[in-house]
C-alpha cells in the first residue's frame, strides 16, 4: 500500500510539511552535533577554570529555554515560518559571535555566541510540533517521528564537517563555526516551502482555552512534561560531558566526533518506527521503554571507559531519548486544543529546556570538579541519572494506574 492511499486525503498537506521539516531537520540540524562536539573542547581552551568547560553548551540550552516562550508566541501570532526563520538567523548570529570569541580568545564573547545559538535550538524544538499542526489524529505520531528521523542526515553530516573543519584554520575550531554559518544561510530557504496556516486570531467572546496553571493540573500534560524533561535533560547531562571525557581518557577529537555521530544516529534512527510503535503499543509503554533504555545507558557507562563502553553507552542514550522524548511529545500533542497550542508548547519547552540547562550546567562540574580523575567524574555523571529516572518512572506509573484506580 502506498503512502498516499494509506493516509487520509486531509493529510496531503501534512505530508508536504513533513517533507520540508525533515529537510530542515537534516540540513539545519547538522549545526547542533557540530557545536555540541566542539563547544566543550573549545570551552576547555578558553575557560579560566576547567569547571566551566561545558558552560558554552549550557548557555546554548539556556538561550533555548529563554526564547521558547517568545518564539511560541511569535508562531502563534505570525505562523511557524516566521519563527523558524528567526531561529536560523539566531543560529547564524550565534555562530558568528562564537567565531569572533575564538579569534579574540575571549571566553565571554564565546559564551554570548552560545547563548544566541540557543535561539536556533529553541526553534528546532518546534519542528516536531509543527509536524502535528496539519496532521490528522491517526497520522500525528508518525508525522512527529518522521520529522525527528530527519536528524539522521544531520547525525552524519555534522560530525563529518567537524572532522574537516576543526583543525582547518590556525585558530582551532574556527572553521567549524564558519561552517555553521553556511549551514544556516543555506537551510533557511527551505521554510519558503512550508504550508502551515497561521492560527486564527481569537474573536471577541471566543474561548481561548485553559490557562497555563489549569493545563499543568491536567495529569496527562503534567506527566508528559516530566517525562520529556527527564529524557532530554539526562541525555544532555551525559552527552555534554562525553567529548571531554573521551579526550580526557586518552582518545582523540576524531574519536569523540565518531561517538557523537553514533549517538545522534541512535537519537534519530528509531524515529522511522517510533510512531508505529506508539500507535500499536500505546504512548505510555514507549515512554517507559525509553526510560528503561536510558537506565541501561548509564549502567554500561559505569562498566568502564574503553571506546566500546563509550560507543554502546551513547548509542543506548540516543535510543532511550528517542522513545522517551518523542513519546512524551505525542502524549502532549494529544492533550490540548488548537487555541491552547501557543501557551502549552511554549510552557512545555520552557520547562524542558530549563531542566536541560540545569543538567548541562551540572555536567561540567560533575566531570571536572567532583572526582579526582576524569574516570571518576564520568562515573558521577552517570550515577546522577538515577533519581530522575525514578521520578519520571514513578510519574508514568501513576498515570498508568490512575484510570484503574478511578
Which CATH number covers residue 393? 1.20.1250.20
Q: How confident is the model at residue 339 (pLDDT cuts 50, 70, 90)?
A: low
Q: Beta-strand (E) ranges in 222-343?
A: none
Q: What is the CA radius of gyration of the chain?
A: 20
Grid coordinates representing 325?
A: 522524548
pLDDT at 357 over 90: no
pLDDT digits (tens, 9 = 90+) for 100-153: 999 999 999 999 999 999 999 999 988 877 887 877 777 877 888 788 778 788
> Does 3 fall in a domain?
no
pLDDT at 373 over 90: no
Percent of the chain clearing pLDDT 90 (strictly above): 36
What is the C-alpha to C-alpha distance for residues 261 and 151, in angstroms, rounded to an integer?
A: 11
> Does 246 fall in a domain?
yes
Total domains in the fold of the chain: 1
Percent of the chain clearing pLDDT 70 (strictly above): 92
Nearest to 297 by CA among 253, 371, 234, 387: 234
> Does 200 fall in a domain?
no
> Does 203 fall in a domain?
no
What is the C-alpha to C-alpha distance for residues 101 and 226, in angstroms, rounded to an integer?
A: 36
pLDDT at 3 over 50: no
Q: How confident is the model at residue 43 (pLDDT cuts 50, 70, 90)?
A: confident
What is the C-alpha to C-alpha distance for residues 255 and 8, in angstroms, rounded to an integer?
A: 46
Q: How confident is the model at residue 206 (pLDDT cuts 50, 70, 90)?
A: low
pLDDT digits (tens, 9 = 90+) for 301-310: 999 989 999 9
Grid coordinates representing 278?
A: 506508539
> Does 369 fall in a domain?
yes
Range of the domain at 373: 10-195+211-405
Q: How far is CA 153 from CA 31, 84, 158, 199, 298, in A?
A: 11, 19, 8, 31, 26
pLDDT at 14 over 70: yes
> Does 64 fall in a domain?
yes
> Does 204 fall in a domain?
no
Amino acid at each position: 500500500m502506498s503512502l498516499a492511499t494509506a493516509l487520509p486525503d486531509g493529510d496531503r498537506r501534512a505530508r508536504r510539511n513533513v517533507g520540508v521539516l525533515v529537510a530542515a531537520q537534516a540540513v539545519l540540524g547538522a549545526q547542533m552535533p557540530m557545536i555540541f562536539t566542539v563547544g566543550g573542547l573549545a570551552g576547555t581552551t578558553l575557560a579560566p577554570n576547567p569547571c566551566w568547560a561545558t558552560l558554552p553548551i549550557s548557555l546554548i540550552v539556556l538561550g533555548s529555554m529563554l526564547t521558547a516562550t517568545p518564539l511560541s508566541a511569535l508562531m502563534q501570532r505570525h505562523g511557524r515560518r516566521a519563527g523558524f526563520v528567526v531561529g536560523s538567523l539566531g543560529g547564524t548570529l550565534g555562530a558568528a559571535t562564537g567565531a569572533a570569541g575564538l579569534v579574540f580568545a575571549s571566553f565571554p564573547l564565546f559564551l554570548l555566541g552560545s547563548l544566541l545559538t540557543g535561539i536556533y535550538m529553541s526553534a528546532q524544538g518546534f519542528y516536531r510540533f509543527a509536524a502535528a499542526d496539519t496532521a490528522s489524529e491517526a497520522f500525528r505520531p508518525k508525522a512527529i517521528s518522521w520529522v525527528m528521523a530527519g536528524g539522521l542526515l544531520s547525525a552524519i553530516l555534522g560530525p563529518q564537517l567537524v572532522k574537516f573543519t576543526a583543525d582547518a584554520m590556525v585558530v582551532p575550531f574556527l572553521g567549524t563555526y564558519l561552517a555553521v554559518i553556511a549551514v544556516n544561510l543555506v537551510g533557511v530557504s527551505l521554510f519558503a516551502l512550508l504550508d502551515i496556516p497561521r492560527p486564527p486570531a481569537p474573536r471577541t467572546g471566543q474561548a481561548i482555552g485553559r490557562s497555563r496553571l489549569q493545563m499543568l493540573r491536567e495529569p496527562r500534560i503534567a506527566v508528559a512534561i516530566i517525562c520529556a524533561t527527564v529524557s532530554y535533560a539526562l541525555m544532555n547531562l551525559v552527552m555534554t560531558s562525553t567529548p571531554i571525557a573521551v579526550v580526557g581518557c586518552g582518545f582523540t577529537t576524531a574519536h569523540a566526533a565518531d561517538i557523537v555521530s553514533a549517538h545522534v544516529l541512535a537519537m534519530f534512527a528509531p524515529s522511522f518506527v517510533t510512531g508505529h510503535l506508539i500507535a500499536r503499543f500505546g504512548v505510555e509503554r514507549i515512554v517507559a521503554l525509553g526510560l528503561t533504555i536510558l537506565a541501561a545507558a548509564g549502567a554500561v557507562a559505569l562498566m568502564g571507559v574503553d571506546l566500546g563502553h563509550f560507543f554502546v553507552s551513547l548509542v543506548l542514550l540516543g535510543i532511550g531519548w528517542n522513545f522517551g522524548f518523542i513519546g512524551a511529545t505525542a502524549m502532549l500533542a494529544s492533550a490540548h486544543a488548537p487555541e491552547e497550542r501557543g501557551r502549552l508548547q511554549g510552557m512545555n519547552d520552557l520547562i524542558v529546556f530549563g531542566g536541560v540547562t540545569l543538567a548541562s550546567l551540572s555536567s561540567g562540574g560533575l566531570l571536572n570538579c567532583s572526582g579526582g580523575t576524569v574516570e571518576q567524574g564520568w562515573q558521577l555523571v552517570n550515577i546522577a541519572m538515577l533519581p530522575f529516572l525514578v521520578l519520571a518512572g514513578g510519574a508514568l506509573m501513576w498515570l498508568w494506574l490512575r484510570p484503574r484506580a478511578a
